[in-house]
């Protein structure tokens, strides 16, 4: 295991990485997990990839090289926080910045030594401390014409039913590296709530392997799903009260308008109320903790407009979602 040594204010830190180098020359992929310290599924997915690479001697068939970072934010992981512990800043908002904060120093070192020389990048995340998400990928609307197609093709090859297309924010790895180097960075989201989603990790590993085939790092034909959908600016259903929730439906399950998703017990009223789906679609995310505060998102649904059940006014809780068959 190699170490990237980064000088931050007051000390030098080390970030571990390994190089999987193929026998045949080719391009470079950077694979990362743990950019946020409270996102354990990104770390677990990279771990699963490392185990796969060792078991199958990936370098024997690999064309080019893969730089693998098992965890980028060790300080945040130790404290179960999203940010870099040294300055309490978000590493994924710190790229292409000039300030000499710890987060910016780490981001600049990663860019200078690895991302500036990469051909593609895959960044593994989850939803953080509270919610759990079904596996999906994220791409950005800002990308140049030279990069949009390759990033979208990577998302298609990953094979998840959902591709989230979003605007992105300044300082994001995917945003800044695309602008500066036309580097396609695929963001993978799986699970959350500080709990490893073992049922989803196999799907995530298969998706990464398929992306590497599609990008000509590995031999074999990449397979694409028959249908995928773009989702833009997802909105969820907020809780109307502080209480204890219990879900009847499972994450990723199809629901219809009027279905009982679960219930919430409101202690102040000593009353339990049903959680009723306002529309048809897939249960895209759920609150993992049993306790929820008023205003927190309980769940979100990816709407299926072609369902036999007609939509009602309750659909205004969600943005109009444009489903695109690919």
Does residue 260 carry a pLDDT above 50? yes
Per DSSP, 99 falls in state: S
**If you search the block for the tokens 């300080």, which residue do you land on?**
75
Instruction: Compute the average pLDDT of residues 206-228.
Output: 94
Structural domain boundaries in the chain:
2-230, 235-317
The dihedrals phi and psi of 319, each to the nearest 5 degrees, come to: -75, 150
Instruction: Compute the average pLDDT of residues 49-59.
Output: 97
**If you search the block for the tokens 């309490």, which residue do you land on?**
88
Residue 234 near residue 322 (C-beta atoms within 8 A): no
What token pair was written down for 7?
């000088």
- Residue 302 pLDDT level (bands cut at 50, 70, 90): confident
In order, the DSSP letters of 57-70 are: TGGGT-EEEEEEES
Does residue 314 carry a pLDDT above 90? no
Q: What is the pLDDT of residue 43?
A: 97
Which CATH fold topology does 235-317 show? OB fold (Dihydrolipoamide Acetyltransferase, E2P) (2.40.50)
The dihedrals phi and psi of 54, each to the nearest 5 degrees, come to: -70, -45
**Residue 47: closest CA among 148, 196, 174:** 196
Give 62-120 pLDDT, tens digit per residue. Answer: 999 999 999 999 999 999 999 999 999 999 999 999 999 999 999 999 999 999 999 99
CA dihedral over 50, 165, 316, 254, signed as positive or negative? negative
Enter the pTM of the model: 0.86
Q: What is the pLDDT of residue 288?
A: 85
Helices assigned H by DSSP within 11-139:
40-55, 74-79, 102-113
Does residue 198 carry a pLDDT above 80? yes
Higher pLDDT among residues 168 and 69, named by residue: 69
Domains 2-230 and 235-317 share a fold: no
Give 225-241 pLDDT, tens digit per residue. Answer: 888 887 765 568 889 99
Does residue 321 carry a pLDDT above 60? no
Q: What is the pLDDT of residue 227?
A: 83
- For residue 92, what are the CA distances in angstroms to 29, 160, 279? 18, 23, 34
Residue 91 near residue 33 (C-beta atoms within 8 A): no
**If you search the block for the tokens 């009223």, which residue do you land on?**
269
Does residue 46 carry a pLDDT above 50? yes
The dihedrals phi and psi of 135, each to the nearest 5 degrees, come to: -60, 130
Mean pLDDT is lowest, of 147-151, 181-185, 291-295, for 147-151
Does residue 194 carry a pLDDT above 70? yes
Give 113-164 pLDDT, tens digit per residue. Answer: 999 999 999 999 998 877 888 899 998 776 655 555 678 899 999 999 888 8
Highest CATH level, class, for 2-230: alpha beta
Please give the Cα distance from 267 to 115 (Å, whole number): 51
CB proximity list for 149: less than 8 A, separation 6 or greater = none
């Amino acid at each position: 295991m190699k170490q990237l040594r980064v000088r931050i204010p007051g000390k030098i830190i080390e970030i571990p990485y390994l190089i999987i180098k193929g026998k045949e020359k080719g391009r470079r992929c950077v694979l990362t997990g743990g950019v946020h310290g409270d996102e354990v599924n990104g770390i677990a997915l990279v771990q699963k990839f490392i185990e796969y690479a060792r078991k199958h001697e990936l370098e024997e068939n690999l064309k080019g090289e893969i730089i693998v970072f098992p965890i980028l934010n060790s300080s945040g992981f130790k404290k179960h926080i999203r940010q870099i512990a040294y300055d309490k800043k978000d590493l994924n908002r710190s790229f292409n910045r000039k300030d000499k904060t710890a987060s910016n120093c780490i981001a600049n070192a990663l860019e200078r030594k690895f991302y500036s020389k990469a051909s593609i990048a895959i960044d593994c995340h989850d939803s953080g401390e509270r919610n759990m998400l079904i596996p999906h990928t994220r791409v950005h609307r800002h990308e140049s014409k030279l990069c949009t197609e390759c990033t979208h093709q990577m998302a298609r090859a990953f094979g998840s039913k959902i591709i989230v297309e979003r605007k992105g924010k300044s300082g994001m790895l995917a945003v800044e590296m695309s602008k500066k180097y036309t580097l396609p960075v695929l963001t993978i989201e799986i699970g959350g709530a500080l709990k490893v989603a073992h049922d989803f990790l196999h799907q995530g590993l298969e998706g990464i392997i398929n992306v590497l085939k599609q990008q000509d790092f590995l031999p074999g034909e990449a397979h694409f799903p028959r249908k995928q959908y773009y989702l833009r600016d997802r909105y969820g259903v907020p809780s109307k009260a502080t209480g204890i929730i219990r879900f009847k439906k499972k994450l990723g399950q199809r629901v219809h308008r009027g279905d009982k998703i679960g219930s919430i017990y409101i202690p102040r009223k000593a009353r339990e109320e049903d959680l009723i789906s306002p529309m048809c679609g897939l249960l895209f995310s759920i609150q993992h903790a049993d306790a929820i505060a008023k205003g927190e998102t309980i769940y979100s649904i990816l709407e299926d407009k072609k369902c036999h059940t007609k939509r009602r006014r309750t659909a205004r809780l969600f943005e109009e979602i444009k489903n695109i068959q690919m």
